[in-house]
Amino acid sequence: MEIPAIERIKSLPVWHGRITLSALSGGRTNLNYLIKDGTEKYVVRLGEDIPAHHVLRFNELAASRAAYAAGLSPELVYSESGLSVLRYIDSHTLDESDVAKPEYLPRVVELMRRCHLDMPKHLRGPVLMFWVFHVIRDYAATLVERGSPYAAKMPEYLKIAAGLEASIGPITPVFGHNDMMAANILDDGARLWLIDWDYAGFNSPLFDLGGLASNNQLSEAQEVSMLEMYFQAPPDAALLARYNAMKCASLMREVMWSMVSELTSDLDIDYASYTAENIARFKQALATVKQG
């Protein structure tokens, strides 16, 4: 018989003395808990593989260990099937308005660059590649096979995706976080931390850049500034075109992630509203690409 989550957490062999436990909100692919034992605080993440979303926990664990070794993320102190325990960081979580602030955006971009360039030095064992256009094609097949209300849109989405992929052209892969939401960035008062490696994998840097901009609603001027910070030179027209195509693809993937989640997730999240919100963002980004 399956052990309930709370009892399973209490029985883990890592605690020192009695523990207190409270649920944390915000997880979209996991259940998260804050634990305090006799000496420290920890975060417990509960989540099995989610093949429909290309989330495989062996990959998340490899990325989490490498991120700690690179000085980007808290230490993973224990793991077993579908469960991980990380040291708690006393911090506040950024929100969308924080990321756009001049005191934060350069630091967030530098955190991203360190992820891209430093983490491959610390990775061990097999890890995944996260190619957004493969994910989009797989999502489209899932939505059609499962009779989603959005299935009729898939031929149009796939045609748009093929055009975006052609516009991006060849890439130089880095190790991406691939979920650059404000909620995955912590500020402890002295430095920033990057957490939650569910979708980590080798990718174009443009995907994280586009995701950072679209997830946090950066202005066009802020996007240009972000690209100049990252590439350490003003972006030319060709780079801007490739970036805008990838930003559009990242939004399409977010739309389809939510469409699939409407079919597959048991979490208490209003995915339909999230789908509608991201369709609006996607259409706006696509209009910019077409006008360009």
User: How far is the CA of 152 from the CAs of 133, 134, 140, 145, in angstroms?
Assistant: 19, 19, 10, 12
The CATH superfamily of 5-87 is: Phosphorylase Kinase; domain 1 (3.30.200.20)
The yes-or-no verdict on residue 29 having pLDDT over 80 is no
Chain-wide mean pLDDT for the chain? Answer: 95
Task: Give yes or no for residue 11 having a pLDDT over 70.
Answer: yes
Amino acid at residue number 42:
Y
Q: How far apart are alpha carbons 219 and 97 in whole angstroms?
A: 11
What pLDDT digit, counting tens, does each position of 59-95 carry? 999 999 999 999 999 999 999 999 999 999 999 999 9
Answer with the residue of higher pLDDT: 187 or 288: 187
**Cβ neighbours of residue 287 closer than 8 Å, sequence gap 6 or more:** none
Write the CA distances from 9 to 25, 30, 55, 90, 216, integer angstroms.
17, 14, 22, 21, 34
* Domain 92-291, architecture per CATH: Alpha-Beta Complex (3.90)
Could you give the percent of the chain with pLDDT greater than 90?
90
Q: How far, in Å, CA of 155 to CA of 158, rounded?
A: 5
Residue 216: half-sphere exposure toward Cβ, Cα within 13 Å:
29
Alpha carbons 136 and 245: distance in angstroms, whole number: 14
Strands of the sheet containing 20-24, edge to edge, are: 20-24, 31-36, 41-46, 83-87, 76-80
DSSP secondary structure, 123-160, as one string: --S---B--HHHHHHHHHHHHHHTT-TTGGGHHHHHHH
Amino acid identity of 21? L
List the domain boundaries for the chain. Answer: 5-87, 92-291
